[in-house]
């Protein structure tokens, strides 16, 4: 069973025994989770449906080891074990998503309603994607194919009380004589969110719209598909400026139509996805084109200042084969070509051209109870940064890279499984880190690049021990990582255009931590689960690294009322506690970061399928978040460093307060 074909169920728990049988794709070959030495988890549709979030990355941030860098309610960037930005590869529609992910306030241009399930690979063990997969990979799987000879679909809608978010999505799919198709349209509006300290946060509303379609043919020879998608996000830019007399946030944009400044983000994509049966294996060929257009409007709603246009051509050719004696292998080539242009009259990074190519090979072998797997990859990235008089220099850089991994999995008796993996990762610096020079409106800072930066190289070890029994499952995953030439931005004490200057620098970094997940089910209907995750990160000189999430404990008690009910099916009620500890390990030099107090958020949820005449006719979910209306700031919120409230002395803008979410889905 492929992760793309997970059964559509509203049961929110993906039990450990079921998860072990799921086949994942993130290691360049179809592999059962129980045979993977690197930490991999799968989030199925019921999990996504049962979470309240304003975007797909926020929904994933509830997973142990994952978090997000946020800018208000509309923009989130994924972070895996303390590493984000260009260290996390997001795969959507079969290719790596390429937008402007170097920017602090640049989110992932993916319609959350189009994501059916998610594979999460932690660490640099994936060799399919080369540079940028240093922290891990998020693989978004789209809606599964309709059953042969059928046409099916669904209508879903969502409302959130805090920011008056309203969303709807329409989807349909068909399968006739091997010809398959599907289509989806989604729309989302959100006004300004509120919290107990700031009230309504001006210009935090956004509008999001997405559409996608797939056409293809299945046969005994394999399959061939073409995917099309369009995404459009219009978020307000929260500046956090306050009235010096009252301390109130300034601005009057409280609806989904943002005021100045705001962004227009559009993403277009065409992907040809083909698999051909060849001998004992499959030959896969993927070719994709995507265009990302990001505009920032500061002084006028009709004329933009910054205007980035990025065209990317992705290619991937690989052969996956099974040999006798339990050998499996995959090898191939992959990479991309990029052309980035500046079309506005303001500049932050130069126009550039990029050529990326990689060659990889992986293999796995079962010897009795032992499963060994590993591989190697060679990469070459060529970069040409174009000159702009008085602002940017013309320069060229070439970054060669070598990645490798080796791991082993072995069951210990009936209940235990041990996993171990060691991997070397590679990441070339991006253009923002190398050559930025200008005011970054969305981040409230002036950025300076460093064209002499070297690539990052990581060496990471992972060790995990799982225990599974009838009433208890425990999953542990620990890691230690060393990253040479770790790149980050820090304040240098200077100011340009009345903004603090952040300059990119690098050094030797050490990270360690892990996750522990416990699920106790003393009776069939009751589940008591807890997940603890933490990351400790510092430089060789003793300084901490910036943007490292605080230790976190998430606990939930869930009771399931019915399975196979004639009217109500998969009904449940759940209570949860989200405890974020104090983050007092922060990068304090030149006041780049400050400590973040701990906080506890209470939540609850309930849901059921409604069955009429033996068929599911309706799914409904009610989700309460931050029920006690705690005023808090997440350590990875960029709004934490906005203006000081002169009346209260509090700095920055706080996160969202109490929120009630209603979700309804009607299949047909």
What is the CB neighbour count within 10 angstroms for residue 495? 12
Averaged pLDDT for residues 493-497: 85
* Closest to 466 measured CA to CA, from 15, 9, 6, 2: 15
pLDDT digits (tens, 9 = 90+) for 110-127: 999 999 999 999 988 778
> Is it the case that residue 309 has pLDDT exceeding 90?
yes
Q: Where are the beta strands (DSSP E) in 391-498?
A: 395-412, 416-427, 437-440, 445-448, 456-468, 472-496
- Give how far Cα 447 sits from Cα of 70, 178, 289, 437, 494, Å: 19, 53, 30, 6, 11
DSSP 637: B
pLDDT score, position 256: 85
Report the residue count for the chain. Answer: 668
pLDDT score, position 29: 63
The tokens for 225 are 């598909």
Exposure string for 79-103, b = 16+ CB within 10 A, e = fewer: bbbbbbbbbbbbbbbbbbbbbbbbb
Averaged pLDDT for residues 542-564: 92
* Closest to 633 measured CA to CA, from 601, 659, 596, 603: 596
pLDDT score, position 438: 87
3-state secondary structure 85-120: HHHEEEEECCEECCCCCCCCCCCCCCCHHHCCEEEE
- Give how far Cα 661 sits from Cα of 52, 53, 202, 499, 625, Å: 6, 9, 21, 38, 8
pLDDT band (50, 70, 90) for residue 1: very low
Question: Could you tell me which residue, 4 or 21, shows the higher pLDDT?
Answer: 21
pLDDT score, position 308: 95
Q: How far apart are CA 84 and CA 65, in angstroms?
A: 12
Q: In the chain, pLDDT over 90 holds for what percent of residues?
A: 75
> Is it the case that residue 8 has pLDDT exceeding 50?
no
pLDDT score, position 25: 67
* Closest to 388 measured CA to CA, from 436, 321, 432: 436
DSSP 644: B
Q: How far apart are CA 127 and CA 112, in angstroms?
A: 26
pLDDT score, position 640: 93
Q: How far apart are CA 618 and CA 184, in angstroms?
A: 19
The tokens for 402 are 């070598």
pLDDT score, position 561: 86
Q: Among 19-28, 70-79, 531-540, which is the least confidently predicted range?
A: 19-28
Q: Among 9-23, 116-130, 246-260, 422-436, which is the least confidently predicted range?
A: 9-23
> Is it the case that residue 3 has pLDDT exceeding 60?
no
pLDDT score, position 319: 95
pLDDT score, position 27: 63
Averaged pLDDT for residues 492-520: 92
Q: How far apart are CA 50 and CA 619, in angstroms?
A: 11
Question: Could you tell me which residue, 445 or 4, shows the higher pLDDT?
Answer: 445
Q: How far apart are CA 449 and CA 597, in angstroms?
A: 32
Query: Locate tokens 């983000």: which residue?
Result: 265
pLDDT score, position 454: 96
pLDDT score, position 15: 38
> Is it the case that residue 177 has pLDDT exceeding 60?
yes
Long-range residue pairs from 145-152, CB within 8 A, at least 24 positions apart, any chain: 145/173, 145/175, 145/180, 145/182, 145/218, 146/173, 146/174, 146/175, 146/180, 146/182, 147/175, 148/175, 148/176, 148/178, 149/175, 149/176, 150/174, 150/175, 152/667, 152/668
pLDDT score, position 631: 97
pLDDT score, position 24: 67
pLDDT score, position 11: 34
> Is it the case that residue 236 has pLDDT exceeding 80?
yes
What is the CB neighbour count within 10 angstroms for residue 488? 18
Q: Kind of pairing, strands 150-160 and 75-80?
A: unpaired
pLDDT score, position 534: 97
> Is it the case that residue 523 has pLDDT exceeding 90?
no
pLDDT band (50, 70, 90) for residue 306: very high
pLDDT score, position 189: 95
Q: Kind of pairing, strands 136-141 and 88-92?
A: parallel
Helices vs. strands in the chain: H and E counts, helices first: 4, 35
Average pLDDT, the chain: 91
Q: How far apart are CA 331 and CA 69, in angstroms?
A: 34
Q: How far apart are CA 442 and CA 238, in angstroms?
A: 8
pLDDT score, position 130: 81
The tokens for 331 are 């090898």
> Is it the case that residue 449 has pLDDT exceeding 60?
yes
DSSP 454: P
The tokens for 151 are 């046409």
pLDDT score, position 578: 97
pLDDT digits (tens, 9 = 90+) for 18-64: 455 566 666 656 677 777 888 888 898 888 888 889 999 999 988 99
Q: In the chain, pLDDT over 70 holds for what percent of residues?
A: 95
With H, G, I as helix, E, B as strand and everything else as coil, classify residue 388: strand
C-alpha dihedral (299, 304, 305, 309), degrees to nearest 10: 160
Q: Considering Cα of 245, then 246, then 247, then 253, what sign does the dihedral take?
A: negative
- Give how far Cα 461 sits from Cα of 157, 397, 507, 540, Å: 43, 30, 20, 18
pLDDT band (50, 70, 90) for residue 586: very high
3-state secondary structure 478-536: EEEEEEEEEEEEEEEEEEECCEEEEEEEEEEEEEEEEEEEEEECCCCCEEEEEEEEEEE
pLDDT score, position 567: 86
> Is it the case that residue 623 has pLDDT exceeding 90?
yes
pLDDT band (50, 70, 90) for residue 181: very high
* Region class of 10: left (phi > 0), else alpha (psi between -120 and 50), else beta: alpha
pLDDT score, position 21: 58
- Rounded to two decimals, what is the model's pTM? 0.93
The tokens for 416 are 């235990």
Spell out the domains of the chain, with CATH numbers in brackets: 3-667 (2.40.170.20)
Reported as type and span, the H/E element at residue 210 is strand 206-219
What is the CB neighbour count within 10 angstroms for residue 146? 18
Averaged pLDDT for residues 456-465: 96
Exposure string for 416-434, b = 16+ CB within 10 A, e = fewer: ebebbbbbbbbbbbbbbbb
Q: Among 36-50, 150-164, 510-524, which is the least confidently predicted range?
A: 36-50
pLDDT digits (tens, 9 = 90+) for 351-369: 999 999 999 999 999 898 9
pLDDT band (50, 70, 90) for residue 2: very low
With H, G, I as helix, E, B as strand and everything else as coil, classify residue 52: coil
pLDDT score, position 388: 92
């Amino acid at each position: 069973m492929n992760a793309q074909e997970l059964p559509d169920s509203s049961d929110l728990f993906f039990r450990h025994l079921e998860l072990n049988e799921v086949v994942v794709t993130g290691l360049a070959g179809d592999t059962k989770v129980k045979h993977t030495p690197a930490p991999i988890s799968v989030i199925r549709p019921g999990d996504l449906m049962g979470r309240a979030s304003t975007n797909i990355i926020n929904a994933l941030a509830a997973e142990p080891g994952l978090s997000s860098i946020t800018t208000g309610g509309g923009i989130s960037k994924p972070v895996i074990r303390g590493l984000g930005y260009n260290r996390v590869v997001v795969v959507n529609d079969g290719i790596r998503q390429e937008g402007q992910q170097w920017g602090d306030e640049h989110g992932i241009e993916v319609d959350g309603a189009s994501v059916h399930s998610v594979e999460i690979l932690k660490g640099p063990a994936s060799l399919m994607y080369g540079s940028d997969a240093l922290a891990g990979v998020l693989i978004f799987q789209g809606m599964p194919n309709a059953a042969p000879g059928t046409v099916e679909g669904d209508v879903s809608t969502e409302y959130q009380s805090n920011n008056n978010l309203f969303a709807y999505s329409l989807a349909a799919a068909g399968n006739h004589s091997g010809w398959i198709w599907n289509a989806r349209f989604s729309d989302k509006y959100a006004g300004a969110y509120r919290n107990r300290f700031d009230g309504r946060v001006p210009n935090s509303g956004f509008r999001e719209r997405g559409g996608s379609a797939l056409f293809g043919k299945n046969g005994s020879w394999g399959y061939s598909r073409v995917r099309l998608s369009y995404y459009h996000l219009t978020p307000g830019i929260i500046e956090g400026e306050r009235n010096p007399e009252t301390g109130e946030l300034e601005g009057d944009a409280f609806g989904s139509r943002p005021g100045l400044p705001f962004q227009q983000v559009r993403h277009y994509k065409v992907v040809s996805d083909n698999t051909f049966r060849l001998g004992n294996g499959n030959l896969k060929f993927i070719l994709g084109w995507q265009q990302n257009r990001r505009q920032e409007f500061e002084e006028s709603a009709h004329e933009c200042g910054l205007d980035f246009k990025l065209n990317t051509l992705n290619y991937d050719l690989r052969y996956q084969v099974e040999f006798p004696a339990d050998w499996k292998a995959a090898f191939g080539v992959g990479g991309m070509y990029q052309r980035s242009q500046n079309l506005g009259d303001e500049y932050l990074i130069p126009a550039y051209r990029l050529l990326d190519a990689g060659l990889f090979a992986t293999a796995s072998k079962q010897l009795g109870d032992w499963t060994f797997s590993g591989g190697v990859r060679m990469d070459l990235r060529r970069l040409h940064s174009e000159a702009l008089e008085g602002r940017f220099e013309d320069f060229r850089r070439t970054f060669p890279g070598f990645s490798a991994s080796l791991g082993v999995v072995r069951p210990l008796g009936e209940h235990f499984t041990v996993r171990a993996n060691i991997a070397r990762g590679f990441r070339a610096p991006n253009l923002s880190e190398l050559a930025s020079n200008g005011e970054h409106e969305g981040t409230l800072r002036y950025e300076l690049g460093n064209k002499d930066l070297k690539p990052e190289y990581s060496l990471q070890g992972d060790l995990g021990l799982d225990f599974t029994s009838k009433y208890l499952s425990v999953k542990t995953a620990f890691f230690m990582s060393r990253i040479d030439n770790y790149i980050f931005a820090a304040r240098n004490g200077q100011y340009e255009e009345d903004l603090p200057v952040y300059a990119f620098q690098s050094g030797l970094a050490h990270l360690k931590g892990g996750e522990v997940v416990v699920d106790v089910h003393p009776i069939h209907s009751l589940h008591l689960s807890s997940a603890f995750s933490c990351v400790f990160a510092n430089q060789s000189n003793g300084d901490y690294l910036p943007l490292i999430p605080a230790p976190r404990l998430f606990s939930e008690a869930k009771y399931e009322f019915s399975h196979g009910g004639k009217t109500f099916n998969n009904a449940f009620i759940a209570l949860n506690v989200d405890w974020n500890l104090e983050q007092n390990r922060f990068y304090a030099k030149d006041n780049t970061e400050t400590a973040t107090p701990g906080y506890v958020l209470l939540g609850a949820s309930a849901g059921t399928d409604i069955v009429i005449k033996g068929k599911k006719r309706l799914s409904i979910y009610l989700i309460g978040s931050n029920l006690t209306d705690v005023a808090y700031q997440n350590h990875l919120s960029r709004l934490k460093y906005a203006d000081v409230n002169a009346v209260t002395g509090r700095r920055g803008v706080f996160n969202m307060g109490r929120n009630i979410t209603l979700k309804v889905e009607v299949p047909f």
